[in-house]
Each structure stands twice: as structure tokens, then as C-alpha cells.
Chain A
Amino acid sequence: METILQVHEIRKHYGDKEIVKGVSLSVRRGEIKVLIGPSGAGKSTLLQMINFLVFPDGGDVFLEGRRIDPSRRRELCAYRQQVGMIFQEFNLFDHLTALGNVEIGLVRVKKMDKKAARRRAMAELERVGLGDHAGKYPAELSGGQKQRVSIARALALDPKVMLLDEPTSALDPELIGEVHAVIRELGASGMTMIMATHQIGFARALAHEMIFMEDGRIVEQGPPDIILDEAQCARTREFCAKIGELGGRP
């Protein structure tokens, strides 16, 4: 399978502290990569640098072989439409209904005709099981529903890759399942994804590759069974053992 997204030697520092120290990775079409590692490892910064919500200090990002130049605003906006982003805190637009949240990108960014946009937005909401909640505002939805709306919002733009930054960490344990189900569906439909998560069991079942990050670097990467059970690096083993205990050994 061809490489769809490539990140080359990307780095970021805030003040004296280097958060991401030159990370490279490449993702093939349909591949699912899961980032694991302790808080502060740079997972979130890495994900946000991939679509330039955080501007890297150095390094390049390529989509389908083309280098993205983030200083060209049009190119950047066009690129971001092709890379869906899911945030830990959902970040729904609070003044718009669920439908409005999904629709606005279609109407304002893709310049889609209003009727067509509404149909498409409705279809995406139904896809994440929220057809009945289209008219509700974010404050009227549960955390799990909000996250599903945000997934619908990203999907509506037909992204080539989805970036998920701990999509279930802000959720009540009871609500995690419904979001996982949607993400699993996405994976089954062939969506390319890079996801940071602490849900090891879920990650093992979903990921084609796991990447263990610590201290701004990739420490180890490989198939989930290898990383979780027979990691080369002692630190990876230690981390996986601890986090595995928490979630119940998958």
C-alpha cells in the first residue's frame, strides 16, 4: 500500500524545553497507528503539528508525496480539510446545534450548496448514531455524544487521514464504549488513522502498529502484540505493564 502521510524529523520546543525531538513516521493508506506513552511524551504536540495547529520548529510533513508549506495559507486550509482532527475535549462549536457543527465546514469551507450540505451532515450524524440529536446544542449532549458529533464533523469533509488525540480520555467510563464503537467502524471502513490513547486493550485490537513515545522521541514501534508483550526496550515493557494492569490485561 502506498504511503499517504509522511512526517520527517519534526521538532518543537517551548523555551528551553524540547517537547518533540525530531520524530519521523509514515502512514500507509488504510493503516492505523496508535501512539502510546506517558503524559508529556509529546504525543499531543506531535499530532497537532501534523496539521499545523502547532507550528513545528523544523521538519516536514508530506501528504501523498507533496510537501506541505504551512506559510501558504490557502494551501494550509486545503490541507487541513484533508486531515480530520479529533480532540480530547471535543471542541464543538457551542453556539451551533449538532447539525450546525457538521454543516458549517461544508457550507463555509467547501462552499457546498446548503441543501446538499444539510443532507451530507445528516448522513454523517446518522453514521455515528446521532440522527435523533441533530437539533441539540453541545450543552445538551453527553460527552460521548459530543465526541461522536466531532467525529461526524471531521468525516463530513472526506478526510484522507484522521488524527485522534486521546479521544476518550475526557469521558466517563460508561461513555467510552460508544465512541470506541464509532472509531472501530471507521477502521473497518478503511480510514487511515493516527491515534494517541491510553486505552491499551482497544488499541491492541485496532492498531496495525503501535508507537511508544517518551520524552519527545519514538522509543519503539511495531505490531501491537510485539510492543505489548515482547517489547525490546525495558521502558516500553514497564509502561505497557503498568497501563495494562489499569485497564485489565487485554
Chain B
Amino acid sequence: MDFLPVLKEGLPYLLKGTWITLVVVCGALALGLSIGLPLAVGMVYGPRWLRQLIGLYVWFFRGVPLLVLLFLFYFGIFPFLGLDLSAFVVAVIVLGCISGAYQSQILRGAILTVPAGQMKAARAVGMSDTQAIVLIVLPQALRLAIPGWSNEYAILLKDSAVTYALGVAEIMARAHHVASRTYQHLPIYISAGLLFMILTFAGTRLLGVVHKRVRIKGYA
């Protein structure tokens, strides 16, 4: 069998891709949170027109397939705007915008779970609505959102493989590269799959630990 030397050479190459995958996913999650959080707040507390606008955003990024969005932004929108962005940056932006749409829904649900009476009590002690949201509602909503968030991480991680189509040198792109050169498809794609499984496991485990750490005593 000649797959062992292939793996010996190929694996370090795949591991480098693992870093890129992680950076893309973490960047997209962070961008997604910074988009999703204000969207969720606007969705719950905003005026009608704002809620409709946010609904449109969510509809667009949830409704269009990832591959279409990647091509649309990479080959279409950014060049049209005169922006020359690398495939890597576009991947982070597009995945981040999509994740923002999904995260806004996760967080909206979490915000609605915080009993409305606490918002009233916050107003009653003289807090402004912004203070009440930032100091009272969000600290609880973010804790409640962690399990949903962990799911979002797993989905995003797998979605990131599609950015290979733009030429981002992540796990999938590198696996394809090695496999098509060596014809050792089976061991290479098994390795790639295993790397994704390890990343999923590690990430959801980490979030599980975080969830426990920030748990409020006696609280569900």
C-alpha cells in the first residue's frame, strides 16, 4: 500500500489548512455575532419598519445558497464596488453575514426567553431602555444562547468547506489538491472528514465548558 507515504506528506499540508478553516470559522462567528446581536435586539424592540428591514436581511442570507452568495460577492458585488478582496476575506465576510442572519434568530429566541417582567423592573428603577437591554436582558440572553450557538458553530464549520470553490486554502481545498495529485482519494478524504469531526467535537465541547462556567446558580 502506498497511502502511508502520501499521508505522511499530505497530513501536515492538511493541518495547515485546518488553521485556515479555524480562522475562517472563528472570524465568521465573530462577525456573525456582531451582526446578529444588533439585529436580534432590533427584531425584538425595534419599530415596525426596522423589523421588516431586518426580516429582509435574514430572508436574503438564509434564502440564497452559500455557493451562490460566495460567487455573487467574490465575482460580482465586490469587484463592482471596486473592491479587490482576497478569497479568504470574502469567505469570512460572506460566511459572517450568513451566520449573522442565523445568529439573529438564535439570539432573538434567547431574548424572548428572558421574562418580560425584568425589563419592566429595570425601567422601574430608572434605567433607560438601552441600559435595561444591555445590563439586564442581554447578559441573560447570551447565556441562554450558548447551546444554539454551539450548533451554529458546527454548521458554520462544515459550510466553510464550500469556500474551497473560491480557492481558500482550507482543509477541503488541500484535500482535493492532494487527492487529485496522488489518486489516494480514500485516505485523504477520510483524513479531511476526521479533521472536521475533531474540530466539531473540540468546539462544541469548549462551548459546553463555557456554558457551565457562566451558569447562574440555581438557574435552569
Contact = CB atoms under 8 A, between A and B. Distances in A.
The answer on A and B forming one complex is yes
Interface of A: 48, 51, 53, 73, 77-78, 80-81, 83-85, 87, 89, 91-95, 104-105, 108-110, 136-140, 150, 153-154, 157
A87 B121 contact: yes
Contact of A87 (B117, B135, B216, B217): B117
A53 B216 contact: no
A76 B120 CA distance: 14
Contacts of B131: 108-109
Contacts of B117: 87, 89, 91
A93 B124 contact: no
A157 B125 contact: yes
A153 to B, nearest CB: 7
19 contacts: A73-B128, A80-B124, A80-B126, A81-B126, A85-B124, A89-B117, A92-B121, A93-B121, A93-B136, A95-B216, A105-B125, A109-B125, A109-B127, A109-B131, A136-B217, A138-B218, A139-B219, A153-B125, A154-B125
Interface of B: 114-115, 117-118, 120-128, 131, 135-136, 139-140, 143, 216-219
A136 B185 CA distance: 58
A81 B135 CA distance: 17
Nearest to A139: B218
Contacts of A94: 114-115, 118, 140, 216, 219
B216 A137 contact: yes
Contacts of B125: 80-81, 104-105, 109, 153-154, 157
A200 B125 CA distance: 28
Nearest to A82: B126
A204 to B, nearest CB: 28
A33 B118 CA distance: 26
Give the residue among B120, B125, B219 with the most A Cβ atoms within 10 A: B125
Contacts of A73: 128
A166 to B, nearest CB: 13
Contacts of A153: 121, 125
B123 A53 contact: yes
Nearest to B126: A81
A137 B217 CA distance: 6
- Nearest 10 Cβ contacts at the A-B interface: A139-B218, A81-B126, A91-B121, A91-B117, A85-B124, A105-B125, A109-B126, A140-B218, A80-B126, A137-B217
B123 A80 contact: yes
Contact of B127 (A77, A89, A139, A150): A77
A93 B218 contact: no
Contacts of A85: 121, 124
Nearest to B130: A73
B123 A140 contact: no
B219 A91 contact: no
A87 B123 CA distance: 13
